[in-house]
A and B are shown apart, each in its own frame.
Chain A
Amino acid sequence: KNEVEQSPQNLTAQEGEFITINCSYSVGISALHWLQQHPGGGIVSLFMLSSGKKKHGRLIATINIQEKHSSLHITASHPRDSAVYICAVSGSQGNLIFGKGTKLSVKP
């Protein structure tokens, strides 16, 4: 069993829809990260959180430490949000342990 599981693997939405991507993990963590990988391949860190909720523009990330679960929400989705969204948790070596990613496609 992977230590970090994401769902769904693929997601297609219409522009304007509210989107939720889920992440569950099975290890103790110091922090959870949400990353975005653009179609060109670059990886950008969106959020790092260890409790509660963070918001940046139309993106909201929440984490429930007791349930070992996090969600990434996108409000008023737009085609430019199309990307792969990756959940990762901080490992004991300071590295990140990654989920396999959720490929999001937002249609106009």
Chain B
Amino acid sequence: DAGITQSPRHKVTETGTPVTLRCHQTENHRYMYWYRQDPGHGLRLIHYSYGVKDTDKGEVSDGYSVSRSKTEDFLLTLESATSSQTSVYFCATSGDPDTQYFGPGTRLTVL
């Protein structure tokens, strides 16, 4: 299995506060992705990165920003958390555009 960690694994925060989730990989994979998983929707792409400082928006990017200053770290930031951003967030990485490896997930609750 690819070495992918996410931190924190669980977080409870209040509406309006900023939140940053971290994805760290030890595989030197070029591609990294942030997905959210919600009941009735399956997994949906928030943002992705195809290299250091190269990022782009996904299907549900509103309210989220990302940064990738080095290959191993991909940060997801909620500038001002809302209750609709309560979800489970998964990071994934890929050494090529097809085969993806998933992190363990972060459960975020926004009160």
Interface residues of B (CB under 8 A from A): 31, 33, 35, 40-45, 48, 50, 56, 58, 88, 90, 92, 94, 97-102, 104-105
Q: Which residues of chain A are within 8 angstroms of B33 by Cβ–Cβ distance?
A: 95-96
Question: Min CB distance, B2 to chain A, in Å?
Answer: 10
Cβ-defined partner of A45 (8 Å) among B31, B41, B99: B99
Is B45 a contact partner of A95 (Cβ separation < 8 A)? yes
Is A41 a contact partner of B100 (Cβ separation < 8 A)? no
**Can you list 30 A-B pairs with a CB-CB distance of less than 8 A?**
A30-B98, A31-B98, A35-B102, A42-B104, A43-B105, A44-B102, A45-B99, A45-B100, A45-B101, A45-B102, A48-B99, A90-B97, A91-B45, A93-B45, A93-B58, A94-B31, A94-B48, A95-B48, A95-B58, A96-B33, A96-B43, A97-B45, A98-B35, A98-B42, A98-B43, A98-B44, A99-B42, A100-B40, A100-B41, A101-B42
The verdict on A86 contacting chain B, using a C-beta distance below 8 Å, is: yes
Residue of B nearest to A2 (CB): B42
- What per-residue 1/0 map shows which CB atoms of A35-56 lie under 8 Å from chain B? 1000001111100100000000
Cβ-defined partner of A41 (8 Å) among B45, B50, B104: B104
Q: Which residues of chain B are within 8 angstroms of A86 by Cβ–Cβ distance?
A: 42-43
Is B42 a contact partner of A100 (Cβ separation < 8 A)? yes
